[in-house]
Amino acid sequence: MVPTPHAALVPLLARHAGHAHELLPLLHALQDRDGYVDPAHVPAIADALNLSRAEVHGVITFYHHFRSAPPPRTVVQICRAEACRSRGGEALVAHAEACTGARIDGEPCHGIGVESVYCLGQCALSPAVTINGDLHARVSPARFDALLALVPERKEGRHV
Ligand code: FES
């Protein structure tokens, strides 16, 4: 039986359907639009690209970038690769955990999730972080606090 795609998925499927090599662009487009790749979409994606559901699921779970659930309101990613580790990255992780209440790669706290990434291409300017996708380099704990205070919902006092 051919799965019926969710209406919100139809325009993206129309743009990418037919070719297996369109899987990554489709997954990126979905995540850019929705913030995650809803597992309920996997059967329709597999059908549209002539792939098995296991192949689609395998790609989604292989790449750390793809989410299968909605992201927290604020996503902090801290680089934990070599250059950043050697320049205070782990101390920054501890600081971020202490000031947000969230555990690295664990459950978000008050709408803030803290996640590990492995190299953001800013090795010469380490330690590097992203906050809601915005890249920041040479981030000290004090600078981290200042950057987090600039996140709109925190700035406006809306802590969820
Ligand atoms: S090691 Fe952190 S940005 Fe490259």
pLDDT at 160 (0 to 100): 39
Best probe residue, ligand 1, of 77, 123, 125, 138 (max atoms within 8 Å of C-beta): 123
Cα-to-centroid distance, 129 and ligand 1 (Å): 9
Cα-to-centroid distance, 126 and ligand 1 (Å): 6
pLDDT at 26 (0 to 100): 96
Cα-to-centroid distance, 78 and ligand 1 (Å): 9
pLDDT at 158 (0 to 100): 46
The beta strand positions in 60-148, using DSSP E, are 74-79, 112-117, 129-131, 134-136
74-155: CATH superfamily: Glutaredoxin (3.40.30.10)
- In the predicted model, residues of the chain with pLDDT beneath 70 are 1-3, 5, 153-160
pLDDT at 156 (0 to 100): 54
Q: Is 135 in the pocket of ligand 1 (CB under 6 A)?
A: no
Q: How far apart are CA 95 and CA 64, in angstroms?
A: 23
Q: Is 60 in the pocket of ligand 1 (CB under 6 A)?
A: no
pLDDT at 19 (0 to 100): 87
Contacts of 12 (CB under 8 A, 6+ apart): 26, 29, 30, 33
Q: How far apart are CA 103 and CA 105, in angstroms?
A: 6
Domain boundaries along the sequence of the chain: 7-62, 74-155
Q: Is 10 in the pocket of ligand 1 (CB under 6 A)?
A: no
79 is an annotated ligand-binding site residue: yes
Q: Look up residue 79 and give its two tokens.
A: 């680089």
Cα end-to-end distance, the chain, whole Å: 42
Q: How far apart are CA 99 and CA 96, in angstroms?
A: 5
